[in-house]
Each structure stands twice: as structure tokens, then as C-alpha cells.
Structure 1
């Protein structure tokens, strides 16, 4: 069976010193590089958060505080600090990540009115990124997933991979949680297991 590695949002704003830093984010990069080097993948796909400056998920664009929740397009939207704005240093991939191994990069969160945690589609399931079609075109059946952050973009990429008919496997060593809510990482792993996502140590 053909397999792909999906590397989710290993970008400067999610790493130490970034505007939405995930604790321990840079620790996963050597592991991801080793996977890309030795994993014998048929495809290695990167996702990249790529927000316009006026994105509605930013607290600054809604006169709200970071951590509040609003209703956006009919669903709850957590208010984030400005992050991964198109063309900025924060949106670039971390310098230690071996970007040369990527066979394709998919940008997400590009629509100003709809957030997009999953690498496959936006949170409202209105707009697809093209990732699903790309993987199916290349006859991929197994997707292994790493990146940031476990409790948001990685989680929803795993769930959408399952929904799209792939066999998703999450590398626990290759992810970290942003943990904006208590027990977020633990609850995420439990939720993924309940949805039959395989967790690899």
C-alpha cells in the first residue's frame, strides 16, 4: 500500500519565540527530518497556515481578547493572536525543517472569514485545500501525520483523513499540543483513538 507523510504547520509562529508558540515545538523537528529521510514515503506533503492579515480568527480583528470564543459563520471560533500572516517571517517554515523533502505544499486558512485547522478543508467544510484529491490521485492509502499543534490542526487533519477514507497514523513523538484548555493533549489522544486513528509511539 502506498503511504504519505503529512507534516502539519511546522512554522515559525508555532515554534519558540513565535506569536502562538507551542511548548516544545522545535523538539519534534529532528524526529520529523528522520522520518522524511528514512520513512520510504511515496509522498511527503506539508501544510502551511497562510492567513490574510484581516483574518477573522484573530482577536485583534474582532475587538476581542485572545482566548475568547465568538460565533463565526455559525460555529464557535476561538480567538487567536495574529499568526502565520501571509508573507511574514512567522508564516515561514522553521529553518531546521528539511523543506526540500516536500513533494507538495498545501496552504490553508487563506479565506479571511473561515478558519481552517485541518489540512484537508476549512472548519465549516466549505472549502477544500486539494490535499484529498492530491493523495487519491497518487493512490495513497496510508497517511502518517506529524506537526503542530496536536490539539487543533493535527487533530482535525487526522479526523478528516479518516473521513476521506485514508488510514491515518499519528506519530506521537512528532507532535506537541498548544494546550489552551485543560487536559487538551490527553483529551485529543482519547478522541483520536475513539475515531480509530492509530497512535504510533
Structure 2
């Protein structure tokens, strides 16, 4: 079974959002083309879904500013602007994203005391979201991963998929993803490739079965 995982294609990470990824909205038509032409048996999506007082927000650390390093749960933590708060428009999927074929939505980042970049588990690896069990039950053997942002949530999701879905061909769709920092994107792609994740384009995904 061939599956597409759309990572966090939400208003908060697109132009005008509270944590906008540069040119993040540019992937929406590419993602839509993958959905419509990629011959996927299953399309799933992850959604950042933070409580208003999430511990990764700089606003919860007096004297701190967004994009400074802080701590959360005793571990180093990038402190972010408040973003993708539950029930706000910032947390909604981008309005142009074709969600009609999304068969499963995995919300993440709901625990205040730990961040959750990956769609599969929290950053401390102590709690699973349930997505790996869902995909295993569906017998997914090819998983294409794309979305926002390459150097954070997409990378973490792809690496966890590789670790948690043995025997599944994990592929990162590069042109259907955008990152926060160019050097970070380059390093993320290298890390994914080193882990055995295939780096492909949307044309590759659409042309393969």
C-alpha cells in the first residue's frame, strides 16, 4: 500500500502565520498534485495542535524571546512564537490544501511539557501518537513524506517512520517541502539519506507505484 503523509501544512507555517516557513505556501499546489495524481491508496496528515500555554512557546518563559534556545523538561528546546494553538485559524490546514482525500489526521504537540516535531512520537520518545500502529495495520509498504518544515517536523517524522515501520520504503519528497533555514535543510536531507530514506521529487512520486 502506497501512502502520502502531509506534515503540518497549516496556516501557522505559511505566509501570514505565526511561525511562517519561508515560501511555505508554495508547496500547497505540489501537495495537491501528489494527492490527485500520485495514485496513493491512503493520504494522512499531521497537525500541530498546541495548548495555549505550551512549553515550547517563548511567551511561557519570562525574559525569553522567540528563536532563542531554552529548556523544556530539562532538555534543550528552541523557543517558538505562539503558533498552531488548538481551535485557532493558525492551526487550520491551509485553505487551498485538498483535504477531501485525507483519510486520517494525526494531531500532535498536545502535551504542554514536551514538544512534538514528529507525527509519530513526542520529542522525548516517551509517548507515541498512534500513527505508526495505524499505518502498520493498513500494511503501508511505501510512505512518501512531505510538508513543513523540512529541518524540523518533516525530518523528525521521516526518521521516526524509518525506525518505527521496518520494511516500509520511506521517501522524502523534496520539492513538496520547505524548511526554515537553508543550511538546516541541507543537513536534514543528508541525515535522512544517511538513515536510508530515499530523496525523491513529486515527479518521481507520481511516476512510481
Count matched residues.
198
Deviation at 1:198, TM superposition (A): 0.4
TM-score, normalised relative to structure 2 = 0.92
Q: Which residue of 2 aligns with 1:8?
A: 7
Identify unmatched segments of 5+ residues in structure 1. none
CA drift at 1:107: 0.1
Higher share in strand: 1
Q: Could you list the runs of 4 or more consecutive aligned residues of structure 1 that deviate by over 3 angstroms after TM superposition? A: none
Structure 2, gaps ≥5 residues long: 202-209
Residue 159 (structure 1) aligned with residue 127 (structure 2): no
Q: Within 5 Å, which residues of 2 pair with 1:125-136?
A: 125-136=125-136
- Three-state SS of the structure 1 residue aligned to 2:126 is coil
Q: Normalization by structure 1: what TM-score? A: 0.96
Give, in whole Å, the separation in 1 of the partners of 2:102 and 2:96. 14
2:189 alignment partner, SS class: helix
Q: Distance between the aligned counterparts of 1:89 and 1:47, measured in 2?
A: 16
Q: How does 1:169-188 map to 2 (within 5 A)?
A: 169-179=171-181, 183-188=183-188
Q: Which moved more, 1:117-126 or 1:33-42?
A: 33-42
For 2:154, what is the secondary structure of its paired residue? helix
1:75 CA drift (Å): 2.2
Aligned residue for 1:71, secondary structure, equals strand
Give 3-state SS (helix, strand or coil) of 1:31's partner: helix
Aligned to 2:24: 25
